[in-house]
C-alpha cells in the first residue's frame, strides 16, 4: 500500500543504530491522520483519499468545514490534504492512519517548504564566487553584468539576480527510517529535510524505489 501521511518536523538529533554507528536523524511527529473523504472514479472521476492532521478549535472552522468533517467523526482539524491512490478499497472513511504504517529500514520521501530567507544577493542565493576582496575593487559580492548594450536591450528572462530566497516546496527522496516510536507518533529519519522546526511536512512511501523494484 502506497502510504502518505502528514506530520510536523520537530528537529534534529543523533542516535546509535543496531550496528553501533552514529546516525544524524530528523525527528518527525507523524499523524495520527484520520481519513476524512474517499473519492472514486465513479463519483469523482479519479481515486483519492483525503486525510487530516492537527487538532483545531471548532470556532476557527466554518460550518461547511465542520459539516464536511462530521461524516468521518474526525473532529476539528487544522490541515486537510488529498492523495491519489490506485485502489480505494484498502481505505475506509473514519480510519486513522498512524506512524505504524512505516517500519525501520523503509525508504520514504519528504515534501516540505524551505525556510524563508528574505531578499538575498547572488552570493548566498546562487553561490556566486563574487569578486576580489581587496580594498578598492568595488566588486566584492556583486553579480556582474546583467543587461545588454543595444540588442535586445533588456535583461534576459531567467537571469540569476538578487531576489527573494526560500519558501518554496522541495522534495527529498529515498530517506531511510532509522527508528519508529509508535507510542509518541515519532519517526526518526536519517538526514535532513526542508522546513523550520514545527513546519508541516508530507511523509510518503518512496516513489523512485518502488519504480525500480517494479522494473526489476
Residues 161 and 206 in one domain: no
Query: Tens of pLDDT along 106-140?
Result: 999 999 999 999 999 999 999 999 899 898 988 99
| Total number of domains constituting the chain | 2
Query: Tens of pLDDT along 5-55?
Result: 999 999 999 999 888 889 999 999 998 999 999 999 999 899 999 999 988
The CB density around residue 155, as the number of other CB atoms within 10 Å, is 11
Residues 109 and 132 in one domain: no
CATH assignment at residue 79: 2.40.30.10
Out of 165, 182, 203, a domain closes at 165
Query: Tens of pLDDT along 69-80?
Result: 888 888 889 999
Alpha-carbon distance of 162 to 144, in angstroms, equals: 11
Query: Tens of pLDDT along 78-96?
Result: 999 999 988 888 888 888 9
Closest among 116, 149, 143, 112 to 129, alpha carbons compared: 143
User: Tell me, what's the pLDDT at 72?
Assistant: 84
User: Tell me, what's the pLDDT at 149?
Assistant: 80
Residues 38 and 110 in one domain: yes
Statement: residue 166 has pLDDT above 90:
yes
Residues 132 and 205 in one domain: no
Residues 74 and 43 in one domain: yes
Residue 180 domain boundaries: 4-116+170-215
When pLDDT is cut at 50, 70 and 90, the band that residue 3 belongs to is: confident
Out of 165, 180, 203, a domain closes at 165
Residues 80 and 31 in one domain: yes
Residues 45 and 17 in one domain: yes
Indicate the length of the chain as a whole number: 216
Residues 81 and 186 in one domain: yes
Alpha-carbon distance of 139 to 74, in angstroms, equals: 59
When pLDDT is cut at 50, 70 and 90, the band that residue 214 belongs to is: low
Residues 103 and 145 in one domain: no
Residues 111 and 193 in one domain: yes
| Residue 9: DSSP 8-state | E
Alpha-carbon distance of 213 to 216, in angstroms, equals: 5
Amino acid at each position: 500500500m502506497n502510504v502518505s501521511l502528514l506530520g510536523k518536523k520537530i528537529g534534529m538529533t543523533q542516535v546509535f543504530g543496531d550496528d553501533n554507528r552514529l546516525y544524524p536523524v530528523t525527528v518527525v511527529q507523524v499523524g495520527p491522520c484520520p481519513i476524512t473523504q474517499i473519492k472514486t472514479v465513479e463519483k469523482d472521476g479519479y481515486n483519492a483519499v483525503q486525510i487530516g492532521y492537527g487538532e483545531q478549535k471548532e470556532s476557527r472552522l466554518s460550518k461547511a468545514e465542520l459539516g464536511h468533517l462530521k461524516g468521518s467523526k474526525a473532529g476539528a482539524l487544522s490541515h486537510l490534504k488529498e492523495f491519489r491512490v490506485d485502489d480505494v478499497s484498502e481505505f475506509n472513511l473514519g480510519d486513522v492512519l498512524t506512524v505504524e504504517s512505516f517500519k525501520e529500514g523503509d525508504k520514504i520521501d519528504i515534501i516540505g517548504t524551505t525556510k524563508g530567507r528574505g531578499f538575498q544577493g547572488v552570493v548566498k542565493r546562487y553561490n556566486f564566487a563574487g569578486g576580489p576582496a581587496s580594498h578598492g575593487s568595488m566588486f566584492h559580492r556583486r553579480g556582474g553584468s546583467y543587461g545588454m548594450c543595444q540588442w535586445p536591450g533588456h535583461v534576459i528572462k531567467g537571469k540569476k539576480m538578487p531576489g527573494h530566497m526560500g519558501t518554496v516546496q522541495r522534495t527529498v527522496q529515498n530517506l531511510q527510517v532509522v527508528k519508529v516510536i509508535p507510542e509518541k507518533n515519532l519517526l526518526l529519519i536519517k538526514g535532513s529535510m526542508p522546513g523550520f522546526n514545527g513546519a508541516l511536512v508530507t511523509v510518503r512511501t518512496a516513489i523512485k524505489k518502488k519504480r525500480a523494484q517494479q522494473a526489476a
